[in-house]
């Protein structure tokens, strides 16, 4: 199994709103805890180790790449 | 009448090298073991049992002070059984199989380390280190070819000759109350502990990670109603924001291990004024108890890069160190001892090439890595190294209250199991189809059997020397297997033979083989055995090779490979 990065969310905008709403009225520590719990819940649902490692790799690459891109002029909307 | 092993003192006696200076130049002992802790004693006993004369030197004249290592694993007990002192350990020890993990005062996770019946030994016993050392020492004292020299401190190490050849040896300078003398051995086993003087004398080090946390061990004597289980709390109400471990030992002694944090003052925290309130917070204001032993410690996960340096072999804490969560320190050291002893015996006897000792290093380095990996993971959970690591740790614990999946992530220590030496060069790879856990390199599992119509255990029939185990199901020994067994009986390397039968043991006519009656069928099941299945077992009870049909040529090849004889690698 490989990580599906093609559109797969049944209701993308509703999901995103719910994700942000999860953090409503939470302080930073609570938000961090909620994020961590969410990651753990989703990871268990996926289960497959290779898929999880792939997601972890993409997430880390997304951060490691960031400093290099910071200086670039980026379009506001893509 | 029980012996107080902590107060025993052993007499220094001058030895013959001291009265005949230069005598060491002529006579090299086969093996000198340095350090009379659990690892050195186990190594020395095992060697002596194999017929190798041993000198064991120790810089002190007493056993362990304080309980120190208390959890001895099933594998260690199986080894102690082979060394002739397992029963005493189990009789004195507190047997346990179950561990519980609490968050605050709520139970979140229970594990059973031995969920199936049909094993001679429990998953663990708790037993103070001074008892383990005392029982091993008494066993060692029974052996006529094992000489113990107390108050003998190694202050010099010199390697002689070309390593790997017959003229290679090691000369130790030993300091005693009567001054120094030279002691020469073909091989030296350095089981001289985490601060290993021999390692330092040789300019070597053990590298790794030291964890920034402090823990308090309070061993208290009390009458208490806690069950004989390992209890571990994260953030309990009686010791907020830290962890606590509670464990029962013999003689009504309880181990309580409090996490203190890095900023704790190690001297102050050892004082009764600080310790007693902590214990009282756990036990209640009216609890009656005495402090038996108190220690504040930090820990590291580290190992030497190589466990063999010329003819010096490092074993136990001198070679590797782990955190105590997982009971992987003393237990892995005892497994080092057993891995090393038979190899030394075979090499000294000329049956194996010196290269066999390189596999001591490679197999036990592999095992040390596994222990360090498990120990580091536990420690990272108990003592998170970064804020985000702490966030995830707490998230796991919070989820574990309501969501079963998170309980498997709660890591209060993954307890010691023997490493499967899967990639060992001593294994012969499977050619036939097998299921189950008894792959080449695995430590043999136990099963109940009958020997001579008496209840017995399979493991007791295996090891000490190479053992061939023929499973024959309901049938007798077939003709082809019988012919192969006969070939082996006349072979150059003694092979102990065990026939495991599900049928009438009287019908197994093979002489010179031990017959084990597998009345419950568990031996056949655990080894995925069919009629004709043959296992070759190493002297340390690890599976070496296995086949569906016994062939004398196959066994001969596998045996040579397991002894590093040329042309089999």
Task: Report in angstroms the alpha-carbon separations of B191 from B215, B321, B335, B483.
Answer: 25, 13, 12, 44
pTM: 0.93
What's the ipTM? 0.86
- Domains in chain A: boundaries: 12-67
Predicted pLDDT at B26: 63
Name the percent of chain B lying above pLDDT 70: 98
Per-residue pLDDT at B566 exceeds 80 = no
What CATH code would you report for B215-298? 3.30.70.2450
Q: Which of B390, B401, B404, B405 would you mutate first to test chain A, the one with the most A CBs within 10 A?
A: B405
- Domains in chain B: boundaries: 16-92+125-205+303-373, 215-298, 448-562
Predicted pLDDT at A74: 46
Give the residue on B whose Cα is nearest the Cα of A42: B405
Q: Is B350 on the interface with A (CB under 8 A)?
A: no
Provide the pLDDT confidence category of residue A73 given band limits of 50, 70 and 90: very low
Predicted pLDDT at B21: 67
Q: Give the distance from residue A36's alpha carbon to the nearest chain B alpha carbon, in angstroms.
A: 6
Who contacts B257 (Cβ-Cβ below 8 Å, separation ≥6)? B215, B216, B217, B218, B244, B245, B246, B247, B324
Write the residue in B395, B403, B405 that is nearest to A36 by C-beta: B395
> What single DSSP character describes residue B452?
T
Provide the pLDDT confidence category of residue B25 given band limits of 50, 70 and 90: low
Q: Residue B174: phi, psi to the nearest 5?
A: -110, 125
Q: DSSP string covering B537-560, please?
A: E-TTSBEEEEESS--HHHHHHHHH
Task: Report in angstroms the alpha-carbon separations of A5 from A2, A64, B489.
Answer: 9, 19, 64
In this complex, do B399 and A41 lie within 8 Å of one another by their Cβ atoms?
yes
Give the residue on A whose Cα is nearest the Cα of B390: A33
pLDDT, mean of residues B129-137: 97
Q: Is A36 on the interface with B (CB under 8 A)?
A: yes
Q: Kindly give the pairing relationship between strand B206-210 and strand B215-221.
A: unpaired
Q: Residue B17: phi, psi to the nearest 5?
A: -60, -30
In this complex, do A41 and B391 lie within 8 Å of one another by their Cβ atoms?
no
Give the residue on B whose Cα is nearest the Cα of A28: B391
> What single DSSP character describes residue B443?
B
Give the residue on A whose Cα is nearest the Cα of B388: A32
The H-or-E segment that residue A39 falls in is helix A28-46
Please, what CATH class does the domain formed by B16-92+125-205+303-373 belong to?
A: alpha beta
Predicted pLDDT at A71: 45
Q: Considering only CA atoms, which of B484, B490, B495, B497 is closest in space to residue B550? A: B484
Q: What count of residues does chain B have?
A: 569
Q: Is A30 on the interface with B (CB under 8 A)?
A: no
| Residues of chain B neighbouring A41 (CB-CB closer than 8 A) | 399, 403
Determine whether domain B448-562 maps to CATH 3.30.420.40: no
Of B286-300, B325-339, B432-446, B469-483, give the lowest mean pLDDT range.
Answer: B469-483
**Cβ neighbourhood burial of B280 (10 Å; 0-12, 13-18, 19+):** middle
Q: Is A41 on the interface with B (CB under 8 A)?
A: yes
Cα gap B390→B395, rounded to integer Å = 8
- What are the tens digits of pLDDT across the range B318-332? 999 998 889 999 999
pLDDT, mean of residues B373-398: 94
In this complex, do A32 and B405 lie within 8 Å of one another by their Cβ atoms?
no
Q: What is the dihedral sign for C-alpha B540, B543, B548, B552?
A: negative
């Amino acid at each position: 199994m490989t990580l599906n990065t093609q559109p797969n969310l049944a209701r993308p905008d509703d999901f995103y709103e719910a994700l942000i709403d999860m953090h409503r009225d939470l302080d930073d520590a609570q938000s961090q805890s909620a994020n961590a719990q969410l990651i753990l819940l989703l990871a268990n649902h996926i289960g497959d180790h290779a898929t999880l490692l792939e997601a972890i790799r993409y997430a880390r690459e997304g951060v490691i790449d960031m400093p290099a891109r910071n200086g670039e002029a980026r379009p506001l909307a893509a | 009448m029980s012996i107080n092993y902590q107060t025993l003192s052993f007499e220094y006696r001058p030895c013959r090298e001291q009265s005949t200076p230069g005598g060491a130049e002529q006579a090299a002992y086969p093996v000198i073991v340095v350090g009379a802790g659990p690892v050195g004693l186990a190594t020395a006993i095992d060697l002596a049992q194999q017929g190798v004369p041993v000198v064991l030197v120790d810089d002190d004249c007493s056993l362990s002070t304080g309980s120190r290592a208390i959890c001895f694993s099933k594998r260690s007990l199986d080894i102690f059984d082979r060394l002739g002192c397992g029963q005493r350990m189990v009789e004195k020890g507190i047997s346990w199989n179950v561990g519980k993990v609490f968050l605050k005062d709520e139970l979140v996770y229970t594990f059973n380390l031995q969920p199936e019946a049909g094993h001679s030994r429990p998953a663990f016993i708790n037993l103070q280190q001074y008892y383990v050392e005392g029982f091993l020492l008494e066993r060692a004292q029974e052996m006529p070819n094992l000489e113990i020299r107390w108050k003998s401190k190694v202050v010099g190490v010199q390697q002689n000759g070309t390593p790997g050849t017959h003229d290679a040896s090691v000369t130790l300078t030993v300091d005693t109350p009567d001054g120094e003398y030279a002691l020469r051995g073909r091989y030296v086993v350095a089981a001289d502990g985490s601060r290993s003087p021999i390692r330092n004398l040789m300019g070597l080090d053990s590298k790794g990670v030291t964890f920034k946390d402090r823990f308090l061990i309070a061993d208290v004597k009390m009458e208490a109603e806690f069950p004989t289980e390992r209890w571990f709390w994260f953030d309990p109400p009686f010791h907020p924001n830290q962890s606590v471990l509670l464990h029962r030992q013999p003689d009504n002694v309880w181990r309580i291990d409090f996490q203190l944090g890095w900023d704790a003052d190690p001297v102050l925290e050892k004082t009764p004024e600080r310790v007693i309130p902590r214990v009282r917070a756990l036990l209640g204001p009216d609890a009656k108890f005495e402090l038996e032993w108190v220690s504040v410690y930090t820990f590291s996960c580290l190992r030497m890069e190589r466990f063999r340096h010329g003819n010096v072999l490092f074993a136990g804490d001198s070679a590797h160190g782990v955190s105590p969560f997982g009971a992987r320190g003393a237990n892995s050291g005892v497994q080092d001892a057993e891995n090393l002893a038979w190899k030394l015996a075979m090499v000294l006897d000329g049956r194996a090439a010196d290269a066999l000792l390189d596999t001591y290093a490679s197999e036990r380095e592999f095992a040390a890595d596994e222990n360090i990996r498990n120990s580091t993971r536990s420690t990272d959970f108990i003592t998170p190294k970064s804020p985000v690591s702490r966030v995830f740790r707490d998230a796991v614990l919070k989820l574990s209250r309501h969501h079963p999946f998170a309980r498997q992530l709660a890591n209060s220590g993954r307890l010691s199991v023997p490493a499967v030496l899967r990639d060992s060069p001593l294994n012969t790879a499977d050619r036939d189809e097998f299921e189950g856990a008894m792959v080449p390199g695995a430590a043999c599992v136990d099963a109940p059997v009958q020997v001579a119509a008496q209840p017995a255990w399979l493991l007791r029939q295996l090891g000490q020397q190479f053992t061939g185990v023929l499973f024959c199901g309901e049938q007798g020994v077939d003709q082809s297997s019988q012919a192969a067994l006969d070939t082996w009986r006349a072979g150059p390397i003694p092979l102990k033979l065990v026939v495991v039968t599900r049928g009438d043991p009287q019908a197994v006519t093979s002489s010179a083989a031990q017959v084990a009656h597998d009345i419950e069928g568990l031996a056949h099941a655990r080894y995925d055995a069919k009629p004709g299945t043959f296992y070759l077992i190493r002297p340390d009870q690890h599976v070496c090779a296995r086949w569906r049909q016994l062939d004398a040529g196959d066994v001969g090849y596998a045996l040579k490979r397991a002894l590093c004889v040329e042309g089999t690698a």
